[in-house]
Amino acid sequence: MRRLPPALILGAVLSGAFLIIALISLVWVPYPVDGVSIADRLQPFSLAHPLGTDQLGRDVLSLLMVGSQTSIAVAILAVGIGMGLGVPLGLAAAARRGSLLDEVIMRGNDLIFAFPSLVIAILITARYGPSATNAILAIGIFNIPVFARVARGGALPLWTLDYILAARTAGKGRIRISAEHILPNILNLLIVQATIQFSLGILAEAALSYVGLGAQPPTPSWGRMLSEAQTMIYTHPMLAVLPGLAIVLMVLGLNLMGDGLRDVLDPRLRRGRT
């Protein structure tokens, strides 16, 4: 058995820990996150409140736990939208390389890429109102061209291989070949890209929540915790440091996992390293 790269193990442990925390918070949290109690506000770390309380007396640990749900849910759905639409588009473009369809798809991608993503996300939420759903849509749309390009780029060299010609002489159509032969052979590229997009999604969700365009109160979110702590950064720095640390660790974990997966799954890089 080949040894896995340490980056992959560390990244998987970090990301896995956050996933477990999010799952636990679905059934149990130390304190309800809508439990405002001004009497308990701004408490330091203690046994009752391991990570203290915020300016409204809510338990910070509970907020962070439930906040991870928001981050992960938004990122998963956004990556899902990106993959679900982007990969078929990319495969279709590769299957009809150089055709009008290819041009339309790829130039459409360029169009989306040309806009600064956060500005468009702000536009969408400004027009349709801030909500987690709109944040998901906004982030998801920008994942489409990323996956379309990765899928097309991975598929193009495969289309010239003999086994694809053999499948064509076996009377298989382009859609069927894309599904049976191309997709399984570019899956490794897509998995790596998904991990990276997932971490970018978490960052984007935090950014949107920070400016108030993501999940709305009382749903806790790491980005909004950051923005609420901003005014108290000198008096109670931990309120800003903790959600910031959560974002950093989660994104770091996902990036490490993405890099590690790439090393394991991409045979070209693997050969270069051994």
User: Minimum Å distance from CB 1 to other proteins?
Assistant: 17
Say whether 57 sits in a helix, a strand or coil: coil
185 lines the binding site for other proteins (CB under 8 A): yes
C-beta closer to other proteins: residue 57 or 159: 159
Q: How far is CA 263 from CA 13, 162, 240, 257, in A?
A: 17, 27, 35, 10
Residue 231 C-alpha from the chain's centroid: 29
C-beta closer to other proteins: residue 49 or 181: 181
User: Minimum Å distance from CB 103 to other proteins?
Assistant: 15
**What are the tokens at 180?**
């049976």
Q: Which burial class, exposed, middle or buried, applies to 171 when counting CB atoms under 10 A from its CB (0-12, 13-18, 19+)?
A: exposed
- Half-sphere exposure at residue 214, Cβ-oriented, CA atoms within 13 angstroms: 30
C-beta closer to other proteins: residue 58 or 181: 181
Say whether 59 sits in a helix, a strand or coil: strand
Say whether 33 sits in a helix, a strand or coil: coil
> Under rule CB under 8 A, how many of the chain's residues touch other proteins?
15
User: Minimum Å distance from CB 102 to other proteins?
Assistant: 16
User: Minimum Å distance from CB 269 to other proteins?
Assistant: 17
C-beta closer to other proteins: residue 126 or 166: 166
Q: Which of these, 92, 110, 117, 64, lies nearest to 182 by C-alpha position?
A: 92
User: Minimum Å distance from CB 113 to other proteins?
Assistant: 26
What is the Cα–Cα distance from 149 to 139, expressed in whole angstroms? 17
- Half-sphere exposure at residue 131, Cβ-oriented, CA atoms within 13 angstroms: 6
Which residues make beta-bridge pairs with 59?
Answer: 53
C-beta closer to other proteins: residue 165 or 269: 165
C-beta closer to other proteins: residue 183 or 202: 183
User: Minimum Å distance from CB 150 to other proteins?
Assistant: 19
User: Minimum Å distance from CB 25 to other proteins?
Assistant: 38
Binding letters toward other proteins, positions 144-183, x by CB under 8 A? -----------------xxx-xxxxxxxx-------xx--
What is the Cα–Cα distance from 260 to 5, expressed in whole angstroms? 6
C-beta closer to other proteins: residue 168 or 270: 168
Q: Which of 107, 184, 235, 272 binds other proteins (CB under 8 A)?
A: 184
Q: Would you tell me which residues interact with other proteins (CB under 8 A)?
A: 161-163, 165-172, 180-181, 184-185
